[in-house]
Amino acid sequence: MKRSKFILVVLALLVGLNLQSQEQGFQFQNGKTSDKIHFQLINNLIVIPVVINGMPLSFILDSGVTKPILFDNLNGLEVLNLEKKETIFLKGLGEGLLVQAAKSTQNKIEVGNAIKYQQTIFAIFNGSMDYAPKLGVPIHGIIGYDIFKDFIVDINYRAKHIKLTKPQSKNKKPCRKCEKIPLEFHNSKPYITAEVSIDNKQIPIKMLLDTGASDALWLFEDASQDIVSTDNYFDDFLGYGLSGELYGKRSKVEALIINSFVLNESLVAFPFGESIETLKKIKDRNGTIGAEILKRFHVTFNYQESYMILKKNANFNNQFSYNKSGIDIEQRGVRLIKNYYYQINNGRLTYGGTTDVTKFITNSDSRSDYRLNVAPAFEIVNLRPNSPAQLIGLQMGDIILEVNGADVKKYSLQEVVQLFKGKDGKKMTIKVERNGKPFLYKFQLKNLLN
């Protein structure tokens, strides 16, 4: 139950080519030919600074979307050009209904030193698309094709920066240990041909490359091609799509092969439901390669010449891991905590944990010497049936206070989730607050994939 599931969103916007042809592309200011932009890497997702009509925002860089999408959790319509707006309805992944959206044209958008005018942006009126609780940081939207089509995009996952370069100015130096892979495009989205090994069979697959999908691999089951889950799987909640919740099987494949690169025992999800049938209609598509795979490479996208370049980085041999507790958490609001001014340290009274103030303190009760602060409230929002956490008695709505004796106020949301990805059998002690009262639970992590 990885938190990454929530970003496995494919927004199937029906944006015509005529709309794209009416827009000018991104241009660098001040005569520059390239720009380096630092990003946050959160749950494998690239979060970059974007400015729309003068307002600084945070967007996910997502190769799986065609037009920028603004989430209306920040009064998105106040950001957009309202003089050029119309209401439309979209259908995407999930089991829900059509979603209302606003289509706004002639917006000014800036990404680093690059600027574009007359940008079309969609604002979605759907509370489930609020990524802040799911990632623990404000996320205002997603952007993809408009950046990739105008620049050569180098993604350095280790150094956490992207480099945008004008295609005509790219210095094509030879790269040792790099591999060039052809790209094929459908609806302005990039696809590659790879292979997957399942049950000792090596199967060719056509895969969408999606930097906005946190998981490693999605495969659409197709018995005619031997793309089927083995018995080594468990049913899981995969996350949210534009139109609702997504479910499927979680498993692993023997290997994913991209050119000469072999990634052994990759995690995989086999989604099911009516919404997945729409994706299967894309000719010969077998699934998605997500950022859990891509972050193991230095990646260069060149849409203009229809290829990508991969070079292994230090993440390549990292073991694939997932949440073995069954706990799914979100950051929902804040909780009040007491920070005491004075603490006992080896028999001495200290202030701030370091300064010895014993001789200045009278017999007053130090328990009254505190101040109230706020810390993120990490709430359990889902529990996998028959998981260790559910069987021991944890409940949805519980607020996590401590994990293995450590106050979670010290951690980000992603750091807390990472604690649940330990080895099979690791002992966990979880302290939660429920209806204003503390409860303590102990269990062991359980690996469901042999």
Average pLDDT (174-179) is: 87
Cα–Cα separations (whole angstroms), residue 104 to 21, 110, 139: 16, 16, 19
Domain-located, residue 218:
yes
Q: Which of 134, 165, 196 is the last residue of a domain?
A: 165
Q: Which of 121, 139, 165 is the last residue of a domain?
A: 165
Split at pLDDT 50, 70, 90, the class of 7 is very low
| Same domain membership, residue 308 and residue 204 | yes
Q: Residue 270: its pLDDT value, please? A: 95
Query: At residue 311, does pLDDT exceed 90?
Result: yes
The contacts of residue 78 (CB under 8 Å, 6+ apart) are: none
Q: Residue 86: its pLDDT value, please? A: 77
| Same domain membership, residue 213 and residue 308 | yes
More confident residue, 160 or 128: 160
Q: Is residue 390 within 8 Å of residue 326, measured between CB atoms?
A: yes
Q: Is residue 155 within 8 Å of residue 300, measured between CB atoms?
A: yes
Q: Residue 198: its pLDDT value, please? A: 96
Q: What is the rounded distance in angstroms from the CA atom of residue 379 to the CA atom of residue 335? A: 11
CATH of the domain at 47: 2.40.70.10
Query: At residue 364, does pLDDT exceed 90?
Result: no
| Same domain membership, residue 146 and residue 188 | no
What are the tens digits of pLDDT across the range 245-294?
788 899 999 999 999 999 999 999 999 876 576 667 677 899 999 999 99
More confident residue, 243 or 449: 449
Instruction: Give the three-state DSSP class for 403.
Output: strand
Instruction: Give the three-state DSSP class for 199.
Output: coil
The whole-angstrom distance between residue 10's C-alpha and the CA centroid of its chain comes to 12
Select from 334, 329, 320 the least CA-distant residue to 403. 329
Domain-located, residue 149:
yes
Query: At residue 427, does pLDDT exceed 60?
Result: yes
Domain-located, residue 342:
no
Split at pLDDT 50, 70, 90, the class of 14 is very low
Instruction: Give the three-state DSSP class for 379.
Output: strand
Domain-located, residue 79:
yes
Q: Residue 360: its pLDDT value, please? A: 46
Select from 163, 58, 76 the least CA-distant residue to 121. 76
Share of the chain above pLDDT 70, in %: 79
Q: Residue 334: its pLDDT value, please? A: 82
Secondary structure letter of residue 405 according to DSSP = T
| Same domain membership, residue 204 and residue 148 | no
| Same domain membership, residue 69 and residue 111 | yes
What are the tens digits of pLDDT across the range 188-239?
999 999 999 999 999 999 999 999 999 999 999 999 999 999 999 999 888 7
More confident residue, 34 or 348: 34
Average pLDDT (406-433) is: 94
CATH of the domain at 428: 2.30.42.10
- Average pLDDT over the chain, rounded to an integer: 84
The contacts of residue 362 (CB under 8 Å, 6+ apart) are: none
Q: Residue 72: its pLDDT value, please? A: 65
| Same domain membership, residue 243 and residue 219 | yes
| Same domain membership, residue 204 and residue 154 | no
Domain-located, residue 220:
yes
| Same domain membership, residue 59 and residue 37 | yes
| Same domain membership, residue 188 and residue 161 | no
Query: At residue 372, does pLDDT exceed 80?
Result: no
Cα–Cα separations (whole angstroms), residue 13 to 56, 92, 189, 228: 25, 8, 12, 29
By residue range, what is the domain housing residue 404? 327-337+375-445
Domain-located, residue 51:
yes
Angle at 143 between CA 137 and CA 147, to 5 degrees: 130
Query: At residue 159, does pLDDT exceed 60?
Result: yes
Domain-located, residue 70:
yes
Domain-located, residue 318:
no
Average pLDDT (297-320) is: 96
| Same domain membership, residue 414 and residue 291 | no
Task: Count Cβ atoms within 10 A of the Cβ of residue 177 and give its class: 0-12 exposed, 13-18 middle, 19 or more buried.
Answer: exposed
More confident residue, 66 or 78: 66
Q: Which of 125, 144, 165 is the last residue of a domain?
A: 165
| Same domain membership, residue 299 and residue 196 | yes
Provide the number of structural domains found in the chain: 3
Q: Residue 442: its pLDDT value, please? A: 97
Rg (CA), the chain: 24
Query: At residue 151, does pLDDT exceed 90?
Result: yes
| Same domain membership, residue 113 and residue 44 | yes
Query: At residue 415, does pLDDT exceed 70?
Result: yes
